[in-house]
Amino acid sequence: MLWLVDAFESIRDFMGLGGPVLKLIALTIFLMWVLIVERILFFRTTMKRLSKEIFNTWEGRKERRSWHAHQIRELMISRFSLASNKGIAMIQTLVALCPLLGLLGTVTGMIKVFEVMAVSGSGNVRAMAAGVSQATVPTMAGMVGALSGVLLVTLLSRRATRETEFLEDSLTMDH
């Protein structure tokens, strides 16, 4: 149980180093990961069921060659594609937002450094170090958050496209 307290204190100290922007970055990364986990769970459970339902509905149709049947098929594929890609654009937005928030942290930290230099000159190294820390920690956190999200959003997007194409190929047009 002591390790949990140590971990909490380390996280609290790290959050204190980065200033208020780091809290915003942490919230952004948390939201991004919630959406990523939701998509992974969707792909592992609901998507398979949805794909099977669409396939069974299509294969249960007696007539599949008319223009009307073709439009129904396109509607089914489109609904599946929308369900598969739901939330991916938001994840991409949050990934893009992470480095921008890191840059905001850099700017606010450097403003703090310049403030200290203007008030006390360059002799107060301790106060300047706090500003430099507030400038670099959010930048690093924003980049780490973006890098962790880029890989997974790419994999999720490819999977959604691949599953949609597979469903489209499996819905035959004969009869």
Residue 157 within any structural domain of the chain: yes
Q: 3-class DSSP state for residue 62? A: coil
Residue 2 within any structural domain of the chain: no
**In the chain, alpha helices (H):** 2-18, 20-44, 46-59, 67-85, 88-120, 125-170
Distance CA 30, CA 32 (A): 5
Q: Which residue has the higher pLDDT, 168 or 112?
A: 168
Phi, psi of 45 (to 5 degrees): -125, -75
Domain that holds residue 163: 18-170
- With bands split at pLDDT 50, 70 and 90, how would you rate the model's confidence at 175? low
Q: Which residue has the higher pLDDT, 128 or 146?
A: 146
Whole-angstrom CA distances from 56 to 85, 102, 136, 142 are 22, 48, 55, 45
Distance CA 155, CA 163 (A): 12
Q: What is the pLDDT of residue 104?
A: 92
Q: Total structural domains in the chain?
A: 1
Residue 30 within any structural domain of the chain: yes
Indicate the pTM of the whole model: 0.84
